[in-house]
Amino acid sequence: MSATAMTDRGPAADSTSTIADTDRHEIERLFAAQKDTALALRQSTAGERIDKLKRLRALMFARREDIMAACHADFAKPSAEVEVTEILPVVEEAHHAMRKLKSWMKAERKRPTLLMLGTSAKVIQEPRGRCLIISPWNYPINLSFGPLVSAIAAGNTVILKPSEMTPHCARLMSEMVAELFDETEVAVVQGAVETSQSLLALPFDHMFFTGSPAVGKIVMAAAAKHLSSVTLELGGKSPVIVDASADLKNAARTLVWGKFANNGQTCIAPDYVYVHKDIRQAFIDEALKALDHLYGTADTRRDNDDYCRIVNQRHYERIRGLLEDARERGARLATGDVPANDDRYVPPTLLTDVGDDARVMEEEIFGPVLPILTYDDLDSAIARINARPKPLALYIYAKDKQVIDTVVTRTSAGGTCINTAMLHFLHGQLPFGGVNNSGIGNSHGHAGFKAFSHERSVLQDRFSLAFLFRPPYNAFTRWFIRFSVRWLS
């Protein structure tokens, strides 16, 4: 790990302002420069695209130590966690696309319907063209290069804007992209709000945004001005139901990992837990044991190298505010505390007796705070979940199949895990995405390839009777039309 990437045990000083905005004219120049390349890439072969993915995958390995150093510099992310959550998903995404790309690109033949006898039809996957990827800070490498893999596989050009909140990762990605691609195919632009506004003013063929629902609405409104297609991976409050039949040790260990990995700064992290009242204390006891097992005892966690930090002072103060508000409204701490104002360390915190009026139950937490609520009957828990906007993820812990089926069929969520948390993100064969407030469209694997592709219908007339549906409408053609309608009724 580079010495320049670290100041002490914690991350480098909070420095979100160290990334300067890219000039609007430079952004417009890059966008214009990619036009001819986007047209040329429509004819690119699977082999040419696979070669690019191979080089990107190889560079991920070659710059592995640099990626670890950059993530540590930005928010003290442990090296093992960087490999699991930043490097592995991108490498796996590229590997999967390389194996499947030829079949994804093949034209899909369609059998004619009765009215279309005498025609042949197929669907071809056409690159969307010039694409924009705006990525977040919480998994800066993963959520930038993962969509980039799909865009390259689908044959597009890309302008990528990483988050200014993780400047070391942003600069590293700019170096890596410049090493692999000409700017007429893939370019990285840096900056904050001004840069985003300049990008969103351009008529991209597709926009891929990962971030909050609030900003997602801004992106969608900007895309609407140009009728650009969008993929929005957003967030929300992802709920958990722990049934009385659940394996409590497994539930506690997987939820504690899912919640406190990356210091809770994960869009699909468990946001609040409904535990059946009969097992409430037993679950809390298991969660406390799981915390000790994963991150050490409460008095040693601050110095645990496996525990991340909050990305910047603003988010740190936001989480402090959530905790102070919850405490003032009667919530209790099973473990953790309102943190002291130093080095952006927020301990793993379990809250009980949380009221629905607390801010922690109204806002997406995006930090290491887990409210534990209780329910008496399943209907009441489902009703309270359904009263909120549809979440990006929903987690169920139960051995009772009827309970599992009831929760799945009576709720809606972007994705769901049963007896585990967050692993669906790593499953390359599953589409990943939200629903309504938590997102629009899907990514990963074939779903990601399709997000950056247009399904183009191609029909060829060979010997159909379509001419009988056209004027002049004589007695025979009118009879034939009436016959066709009745035949299909």
C-alpha 236/C-alpha 234 separation (Å) is 7
C-alpha 188/C-alpha 180 separation (Å) is 12
What tens digit of pLDDT does each residue of 52-88 get? 999 999 999 999 999 999 999 999 999 999 999 999 9
Amino acid at 481: I
pLDDT tens-digit profile, the chain (489 residues): 333 332 333 333 444 447 899 999 999 999 999 999 999 999 999 999 999 999 999 999 999 999 999 999 999 999 999 999 999 999 999 999 999 999 999 999 999 998 999 999 999 999 999 999 999 999 999 999 999 999 999 999 999 999 999 999 999 999 999 999 999 999 999 999 999 999 999 999 999 999 999 999 999 999 999 999 999 999 999 999 999 999 999 999 999 999 999 999 999 999 999 999 999 999 999 999 999 999 999 999 999 999 999 999 999 999 999 999 999 999 999 998 887 767 899 999 999 999 999 999 999 999 999 999 999 999 999 999 999 999 999 999 999 999 999 999 999 999 999 999 999 999 999 999 999 999 999 999 999 999 999 999 999 999 999 999 999 999 999 999 999 999 888
Q: What is the CA radius of gyration of the chain?
A: 25
* Structure tokens given for 181: 């691609």
* Structure tokens given for 123: 């669907």
C-alpha 185/C-alpha 203 separation (Å) is 17
C-alpha 260/C-alpha 67 separation (Å) is 21
Asked whether the bond before 140 is cis by omega within 30 degrees of 0, the reply is: no
Place of tokens 């919850």: 326
Which three-class secondary structure string do you get for the chain? Answer: CCHHHCCCCCCCCCCHHHCCCCCHHHHHHHHHHHHHHHHHHCCCCHHHHHHHHHHHHHHHHHCHHHHHHHHHHHHCCCHHHHHHHHHHHHHHHHHHHHHHHHHHHCCEEECCCHHHCCEEEEEEEEECCEEEEECCCCCCCHHHHHHHHHHHHCCCEEEEECCCCCHHHHHHHHHHHHHHCCCCCEEECCCCHHHHHHHHCCCCCEEEEECCHHHHHHHHHHHHHHCCEEEEECCCCCEEEECCCCCHHHHHHHHHHHHHHHHHCCCCCCCEEEEEHHHHHHHHHHHHHHHHHHHCCCCCHHHCCCCCCCCCHHHHHHHHHHHHHHHHCCCEEEECCCCCCCCCCCCCEEEECCCCCCHHHCCCCCCCEEEEEEECCHHHHHHHHHCCCCCCEEEEECCCHHHHHHHHHHCCCCEEEECCCCHHHHCCCCCECCCECCEECCECHHHHHHHCEEEEEEEEECCCCHHHHCCCCCHHHHHHHHHHHHHHC
Catalytically annotated residues: 233, 267
C-alpha 341/C-alpha 352 separation (Å) is 23
C-alpha 407/C-alpha 106 separation (Å) is 38
C-alpha 270/C-alpha 316 separation (Å) is 19
pLDDT for 170 equals: 98
Phi and psi angles of residue 325, each rounded to the nearest 5 degrees, phi first: -65, -45
C-alpha 259/C-alpha 327 separation (Å) is 20
Are the C-beta atoms of residues 448 and 419 closer than 8 Å to each other? no
pLDDT for 489 equals: 80
Are the C-beta atoms of residues 419 and 394 closer than 8 Å to each other? no
Of 151, 2, 169, 4, nearest to 71 (Cα)? 169
230 pairs with which residues across the strands? 207
Are the C-beta atoms of residues 1 and 77 closer than 8 Å to each other? no
C-alpha 412/C-alpha 390 separation (Å) is 6
Place of tokens 């300067």: 20
Of 469, 462, 488, 465, nearest to 121 (Cα)? 462
Question: Angle, nearest 10°, between helix axes 378-386 and 401-410?
Answer: 20
pLDDT for 472 equals: 94
pLDDT for 10 equals: 37
